[in-house]
Structure 1
C-alpha cells in the first residue's frame, strides 16, 4: 500500500501516532483485566481443557467430561497448564488469547501488504476489540479457538508466498490443538498440493496417535466424543450454537429440513470457494476469500459452532478493506456484523441463551455475502480469461492450478518447504 495517495487509503496506511496505540493498549488491557477478575483457570472453556489434563495426570480419562471435545494431543498440550496456579492462569491465559488475536491480525495485514504500524492496523484492531462482541467473548472464555485465529491468517500468508508445506505444518499443528481448521484441507485439494496436505493431516494424526497411547482409554475420542458430536451435543450446549442445524429447530423448523438447508448452503459455499480459487487471479484476496468461505461453510454445519468462531475469518477479510474488489467494501459485509455490536439490546434476544439467534444471522449473512462475492469475482475472472485470447487464457488456467505465489511464479522453489 502506498502512503503517497491523497485519498483515505493513503491516510490509513501512514504510521499511527502513539495516541492510537495507547487507546489500543487500554482496550486490550481492559479485556484481559476483566477476564482475570471474573474467572479462574483463564476462562470457562480453558478450564475444561485444563481440568481434563488434571484428570489425566491423576490417572483418569479426560473424556469422562462430555464437554471435552478435543483430540488426545490437546490433553498432552494442556498438561503443563495443569501445574500452573489458578491465579496465574487467570492472568496468563487472557494475555495469550489476546496475543493470538493480535498476531492473527498482524499476519492478515502482512498478507494484504499493510504495515502493522499503520493507522489502519491500529484502528482495525481497536474496532475488533471494542466493536465486535465475539472478541471480548473469546478473551473471557479463554477458548482455544484463539490458536485457530492465529493459525489461519499465518497459513494463508504462507500460501500467498508460495510456501505450501509450511502452511500445511501450521494448520496441522493448529488442528492438533483444536480440529477447527480441518476444512482447510479442501484448499490444498483445490490447489493440488498433496505434499502439503499430507503434512496438514499427518501432524495431528501422529500427535493424537502418540498421545492416545498415554491415555487410559486410547479410543475415547472416537467412542465417546464423536458420538456426542454426531447426536447434536446436549441441551445446554445447543442453546449457544450458531449453526442453522441448531438454531432453526429452536425456531420451529423440523430438524430434517434444517439439516437439508444447512448442508445445502454449505455445499453451495464450497462450490463458490472452488470457483473463486479457480478464477486464477493473482493477489492476496484470492487465498483469503477462498479460505474464509471454506471455514464459513463448515461453520454452517459444524457441531458445535459458536460466535467466537467468527474471529477465525472476520479479521482475515477485514484486513483486505484497502484492496479494490474486497468483499469488505460492500454493504452486506457490515450489515452482517450489526448483530455483534456490543451493548445493543435486541428485543426478545436479551437472554444469553438466545444470543445464538443473533450469531446465526451474522454467520448466514456473512456466508451468503462472501459466496455471492466469490461467484461474481470468479465470473469476472473467467470473462477476462476468455477475452484475453487462447494464450493468456492458458496462463490464467495454469495460475489457477498453481495458486497465488506472491505475485510471481515460484515453481523453482516449491521443493523448499520453508
Structure 2
C-alpha cells in the first residue's frame, strides 16, 4: 500500500497539480536546510556560548562570564534555562550541535502539523506543502537552524500553548509557557491573552514552573546571582548591533531621543487600539482573536522594547496562517509587503549602491514589523468605523465575511477552494450555506 502511494499519477484537478508539484519541492527544501545549510553553519554561532555555559554548569564552574564589550553571541539564559539546557553538554560539541539542529527541525515540523490542524487542514490539503515550503524558505527558519538556537522549540511550545489555551486546558498551557519563560521570556506577552480570557489557572503554572526551576538551579550553580547583577542590566540596555527594534535602530542611526519616543508612542497607541477592538468585538471568535492578538503582542514586544531580532519572526507563523480565515486582517497586499520585509531570506546589500543597500538590509525588518502593525490597526479601525456608520455594532464584520459562530474556525475552507479541511472534524460543525447564483453553481460544478 505504501509503494502504491509513490506510483506516478496524472493530476486530474488543479489541487492535485499543486500538491504533486509542491510536495517534492517542500521535502527537498527541508532536507537542504537541515542537513546541508544548518550542518555547514555560519560565522554567527548561537550554539557555542550555550554549549560552553552548559559544560561549565555541569562541571561546577562560573557560567555568567561573557564579555559584553564584544559583538559575539553571549550566553543570556537565566539559571532556570541553564538547568533545562545543560544536558546538551553531555556529549562532544559537534555531535551535540547536530542533535540540537535535528531537535529544532523536528520541533518545527511538529509545529507545522499542529498549525495545519489548528486551522482544520489535513496533510492531503494544498495548505500542507504550501505552508511547509514557505516555512523552510523563510529567513527565520533558515537562520534558526544555521545559527543553531532554540527558536524552533519555542515555536512548538507556542503552538502547544495556543491549542491548550483554546481547549481550556489552563494548567497544561501554563506549564508549556512556563518552560519557555524559564529559558527566555520571548513568549511571555501571550499571558495577556490568558488574562483577558479570564483563564487564571494559566498563571499558576506559567509563573510557578520558572520559579521552581530557578529554586532547583540556584544551589547547583556557582554564580546564579550574576545573572541578575551582571546579565540582566545588559539585557535591559539597547544595543546598536543585531537589533531591529525601534530603539536599536535609533541608536545605530543616531536619531534624537524625542523622535525615537514619538515613533514608539505612536506604534504603542496603534497596538492598544488594535487590542481593544480585538477584545471588545472579536473575543468570542476564539481562533481569530487568539492568533491575531498573539501576533500583535509579539510584534509590539520586538519593536518597542530594547531588543528585537529578525529570526524571532518564527513566532508569527500562527498569526500569518490566520490569512485563511475569512475575516483575517492579512488579506491585503500591504500586509504581505510587510511580511516580505521580515520573512524573506533575500539580502539587499549592494556593491553598486552600498549605502542604499545597507539601509534597505538593516531597516527592512523594522519597517516590516511596523508596517504590519499599521495594517492591523487600519483594517480593524476601518471595520469599526464602517460598522458604526452602518449601525451594526457590535458586529464589525460585513455580511459577506460572516460565518456561523461555531464554524468560524473552518472559514479558510470556505474562502480558499482546493484547500480542503478535515472532513471528520468539519462534519461536527454546523454549516451555514451561502446563497449561490445558478451561474456560480455551474462554475463550481465544473471545478469539482
**CA distance in structure 2 between the aligned counterparts of 1:34 and 1:109, rounded to whole angstroms:** 26
Residue 282 of structure 1 corresponds to 285
Q: Pick from 259, 264, 280 the counterpart of residue 262 of structure 1.
A: 264
Q: Is contact 2:274–2:381 with CA below 8 Å preserved after alignment? A: yes
- Provide the C-alpha distance between the structure 2 equivalents of 1:269 and 1:299, rounded to a whole number of angstroms: 12
Deviation at 1:370? 2.5
Q: Is contact 1:187-1:290 (8 Å) kept?
A: yes
- Paired residue secondary structure (2:322): coil
Matched, 1:208 2:224: no
Alignment of 1:268-417 (within 5 A): 268-279=270-281, 280-313=283-316, 315-339=317-341, 340-347=343-350, 348=354, 355-376=361-382, 384-386=392-394
CA distance in structure 2 between the aligned counterparts of 1:149 and 1:225, rounded to whole angstroms? 25
CA contact (8 A) 1:332 1:369 kept: yes
The answer to whether 1:53 aligns with 2:54 is: yes
Cα gap change, 1:15/1:379 in structure 2, threshold over 3 Å: closer, same or farther?
farther
| CA separation of 1:175 and 1:114: change in aligned 2, threshold 3 A | same
Give the counterpart of 2:236 among 230, 234, 241: 230
SS in 2 for 1:209: helix
**For residues 274 and 111 of structure 1, what CA distance do their matches in structure 2 show?**
24
Aligned to 1:138: 144
Question: Cα offset for 1:385?
Answer: 4.7
Does residue 74 (structure 1) correspond to residue 81 (structure 2)? The answer is yes
The answer to whether 1:196 aligns with 2:197 is no
Are the structure 2 counterparts of residues 36 and 249 from structure 1 closer, same or farther at C-alpha, using a change threshold of 3 Å?
A: closer
Q: Could you say if the C-alpha distance between residues 199 and 24 of structure 1 is closer, same or farther in structure 2, counting changes exceeding 3 Å? A: same
Contact 1:101 1:146 in 2 (8 A): yes
Conserved? CA contact 1:108–1:316, under 8 Å? yes
Pick the structure with greater CA Rg.
Answer: 2
Return the TM-score normalized by structure 1.
0.80
CA distance in structure 1 between the aligned counterparts of 2:361 and 2:28, rounded to whole angstroms:
27
d(CA) in 1 for partners of 2:392 and 2:199?
26
Q: Distance in 2 between matches of 1:374 and 1:173?
A: 33
Contact 1:278 1:378 in 2 (8 A): no
Deviation at 1:320, TM superposition (A): 2.3
CA distance in 1, matches of 2:226, 2:384: 43
CA RMSD of aligned residues (A): 3.1
TM-score, length-scaled by structure 2 = 0.75
Comparing 291-300 with 192-201, greater Cα deviation is found at 192-201
What's the offset of the Cα at 1:287?
A: 0.8
Q: For residue 94 of structure 1, what is the aligned residue in structure 2?
A: 101
- 1:112-261 maps to which residues of 2 (within 5 A)? 112-130=119-137, 132-233=138-239, 238-261=240-263
Cα deviation for residue 290 of structure 1 reads 0.8
CA distance in 1, matches of 2:359, 2:324: 37
Aligned equivalent of 2:414: none
Whether the aligned pair in 1 keeps the contact of 2:181 and 2:187 (CA below 8 Å) is yes
Q: CA deviation at 1:361?
A: 1.4
Task: Count how many residue pairs are aligned between Structure 1 and Structure 2.
Answer: 374
Match of 2:111 in 1: 104
Distance of 1:378 and 1:162 partners within structure 2: 29
| SS at structure 2 position matched to 1:239 | coil
